[in-house]
Amino acid sequence: MKLLSRYSAFGLARRALTGARWQRAWRAASPRGSYDVVVVGGGGHGLATAYYLAARHGIRSVAVLERGYLGSGNVGRNTTIVRSNYLLPGNTEFFEHSLKLWEGLSHELNFNVMLSQRGQLVLAHNPVQLDVLARKGNTMRLNGIDAELMQRADVERFLPFLDYSRECRFPIYGGLLQRRAGTARHDAVAWGYARAADRLGVDIIENCEVTGFLRAGERITGVETTRGRIGAGRTAVSVAGHSSHVMSLLGMRLPVESHLLQAFVTEPIKPFLDCVISFGAELFYVSQSDKGGMVFGGHIDGFNSYTQRGQFPKVQTVAECAVALIPSMSRLRLLRHWAGIQDMTPDGSPLIGRTPFRDLYLNGGWCYQGFKATPAAGWCLAHTIATEQEHPLIRHLALDRFERGNGSDEYGLGLRTWVQ
Amino acid sequence: MLRIPCPHCGERDYTEFRYGGDAGRTRPAHGSQSVRAWHDHVFLFANPKGAHREYWQHVHGCRQWLVLERDTATGSVGRASLARPPGVP
């Protein structure tokens, strides 16, 4: 097994001059009979878990099983925003840990994830919203996280092209800016983790669907797959929108419904928007990609579905939000839009940690926030698997929190948005 | 566009309806003291990839609650019937 060389400026120049071919970024591994840890799901979270198991905990007998190809799920379908402006205890620390990992990720992985800390501005459209943002900003600053409260005049200087007119439906009162927030190249995150994990000996097995679990009583000892039976000391399920589907193989129901979440890209235009904006009057978030397209998204469509096909009314809603916020976007044409399968929980927070089965771990239910959580989710799950001790940062996200009445409702953005 | 064949009003866009979730769940008996049963009813979802029976209320139409058969894997829609058939209190 020949491990791959590191990427470097020298290597780039050498290949440019000699025309030498690039190696594959990761081996096309075939499944072995058993591993210390099997991670089900080759998305960002699964690959990050495998990488941190190998890199931080020295567990290198690890397989990542992916049903399709790497990056074919939500990690390749999101609006690429990373930030750590959270209010609730537990969430604040978790997402800040994630953002700190993002800041060092390109160096750690030897792969450019194109993190762009262009800042994220959350807008307030009434005085109460601004008070809430002030409280959130204070919470962040008390936790050592950067946050700047902006009044209307500050926002107007910062982003002069928003709608500040008298006729505006949702007048802007101010906002909360996190300058360290921004965007990252979503595919590169999957590829970077895959490549780095592969260099440490992790087997990444694509086109391998899990069809069942191997059990010895209440202990999980491996998985049945379309490429044969694979034994596992420990198994982690990290399959986002298919969490319910995979766990139903064990007869288990989860506090999760799979919904459609759409994202949109317009035709490319010249550099125009140099930060991420979150509208405060509806769920709407927008940034401009490096290619120039305006990238934006909104709420889930509102009923459970695995089709990955979005419904038209949501296209209309987000377009209305875009124009209400940035009138000059009205003449842009949508280039494409797509839907991901979003694993929604009742309180809008994820489920990560142990399951009722021994040696089986679950990571899912990330709702709108899976991408930004990728490094920390992998970090904390790897810690939990390797040490059998729940990582302190994910204690509030345990699977049994609803039984204990400990829901963690940061936004009121769970699976029934209209009843919260 | 998801279109729902309302037995009263005919086929309409889903935006006229409010989604009410899985119709296969049974509520614990009134006065049930079992926290586990209530937890399972309120918080756990079958969330199948495939055939699903679900409640929709035609809020911008006849205001009736319907049960729709829909396939969550393909998006195809089957029959819709009244959640409470006529004559049943």
Among residues A344, A377, A406, the one where a domain terminates is A344
> Using 50, 70 and 90 to split pLDDT, how confident is the model at A418?
low
CATH number at residue A251: 3.50.50.60
The reply to whether A418 touches chain B by the CB within 8 Å rule is yes
Rounded average pLDDT over A57-68: 97
Domain membership flag for residue A10: no
The reply to whether A258 touches chain B by the CB within 8 Å rule is yes
Query: B47, A257: Cβ pair inside 8 Å?
Result: yes
Residue A414: the pLDDT is 77
Which of B13, B45, B48 lies at the smallest CB-CB distance from A255?
Answer: B45
Model confidence pLDDT, tens digit, residues A29-48 = 999 999 999 999 999 999 99
Cβ atoms of residues A260 and A227 within 8 Å = no
> Using 50, 70 and 90 to split pLDDT, how confident is the model at B85?
confident
Residue A337: the pLDDT is 92
The pTM of the full predicted model, rounded to 2 decimals, is 0.95
Which of A258, A305, A418 lies at the smallest CB-CB distance from B75?
Answer: A305
Cβ-Cβ contacts under 8 Å, B48 against chain A? 244-245, 248
Q: What is chain A's percent helix, strand, coil content, to nearest 5?
A: 35, 25, 40
Q: Are residues A406 and A294 in the same domain?
A: no
Element (H, E) at A291: none
> Using 50, 70 and 90 to split pLDDT, how confident is the model at A405?
confident
Percent of chain A's residues with pLDDT above 90: 91
Rounded average pLDDT over A270-292: 95
Rounded average pLDDT over A171-178: 98
Domain membership flag for residue A17: no
Cβ atoms of residues A195 and A106 within 8 Å = no
Query: B47, A309: Cβ pair inside 8 Å?
Result: no
Tallying the residues shown for chain B, one arrives at 89
- The total of other beta-carbon atoms located within 10 Å of residue B79's CB is 12
Domain membership flag for residue A267: yes
> Using 50, 70 and 90 to split pLDDT, how confident is the model at A4?
low
Rounded average pLDDT over B52-81: 97
- Residue ranges making up the domain that contains A45: 28-84+87-111+186-255+347-419
Interface probe, candidates B12, B14, B45, B76, chain A, greatest A C-beta count within 10 A: B45
The whole-angstrom separation of Cα A75 and Cα A399 is 23
Residue A417: the pLDDT is 59
Rounded average pLDDT over A350-363: 97
Rounded average pLDDT over A93-99: 97
CATH number at residue A297: 3.30.9.10
Cβ atoms of residues A340 and A79 within 8 Å = no
Q: Which of residues 365-394 of A touch B (CB under 8 A)?
A: none
Show the DSSP H helices in A200-347 as ranges: 243-247, 312-325
Task: Spell out the domains of chain B, with CATH numbers in brackets.
Answer: 3-25+37-82 (3.30.2270.10)
> Would the pLDDT of A1 be above 50?
no
Interface probe, candidates A244, A257, A303, chain B, greatest B C-beta count within 10 A: A303
Residue A3: the pLDDT is 53
Q: Where are the beta strands (DSSP E) in A89-241?
A: 120-124, 148-151, 174-178, 182-183, 203-205, 210-216, 219-225, 228-237
Rounded average pLDDT over B39-59: 95
The reply to whether A245 touches chain B by the CB within 8 Å rule is yes
The whole-angstrom separation of Cα A171 and Cα A324 is 10
Alpha-carbon A198 to chain mean position: 21
Q: Report DSSP state, residue B31.
A: T
The reply to whether A303 touches chain B by the CB within 8 Å rule is yes
Rounded average pLDDT over A85-94: 94
Q: Report DSSP state, residue A59.
A: -
Q: With a cut of 0.85, is the ipTM above it?
A: yes
Query: A307, B73: Cβ pair inside 8 Å?
Result: yes
Model confidence pLDDT, tens digit, residues A50-59 = 999 999 999 9
The whole-angstrom separation of Cα A313 and Cα A410 is 26
Model confidence pLDDT, tens digit, residues A284-299 = 999 999 999 999 999 9
Number of domains in chain A: 2
The whole-angstrom separation of Cα A203 and Cα A192 is 15
Residue B87: the pLDDT is 80
How are beta strands A228-237 and A34-40 bridged, if at all?
parallel
Query: A306, B73: Cβ pair inside 8 Å?
Result: yes
Radius of gyration in angstroms for the set of CA atoms belonging to chain A, rounded to a whole number: 22
The whole-angstrom separation of Cα A228 and Cα A208 is 9
The pairs formed by A136-143 with CB atoms below 8 angstroms and a separation of 24 or more are A136/A85, A136/A86, A136/A87, A136/A176, A137/A85, A137/A176, A139/A87, A139/A92, A140/A84, A140/A85, A140/A86, A140/A92, A140/A178, A143/A92, A143/A93, A143/A96
Cβ atoms of residues A75 and A191 within 8 Å = no
Q: Are residues A369 and A324 in the same domain?
A: no
Q: How far is B38 from chain A (nearest CA, A)?
A: 9
Q: How far is B39 from chain A (nearest CA, A)?
A: 6
**Could you tell me the two tokens for A143?**
């936790």
Domain membership flag for residue A14: no
Residue A138: the pLDDT is 97
Q: Are residues A107 and A217 in the same domain?
A: yes
Q: What is chain B's percent helix, strand, coil content, to nearest 5?
A: 15, 40, 50
Q: Are residues A203 and A320 in the same domain?
A: no
Domain membership flag for residue A2: no
Q: How far is CA A271 from CA A14, A284, A294, A300, in A?
A: 33, 20, 10, 29
Identify the residue with better confidence: B85 or A284.
A284
Residue A420: the pLDDT is 40
The reply to whether A404 touches chain B by the CB within 8 Å rule is no
The whole-angstrom separation of Cα A222 and Cα A204 is 16
Residue A227: the pLDDT is 97
- Mean pLDDT, all residues of chain A: 94
Q: Are residues A282 and A169 in the same domain?
A: yes
The whole-angstrom separation of Cα A115 and Cα A290 is 11
Among residues A315, A344, A373, the one where a domain terminates is A344
> Would the pLDDT of A367 be above 80?
yes
Query: B36, A402: Cβ pair inside 8 Å?
Result: no
Which of these, A402, A392, A299, A307, lies nearest to A345 by C-alpha position? Answer: A402
> Using 50, 70 and 90 to split pLDDT, how confident is the model at A411?
confident
**Could you tell me the two tokens for A199?**
């260099």
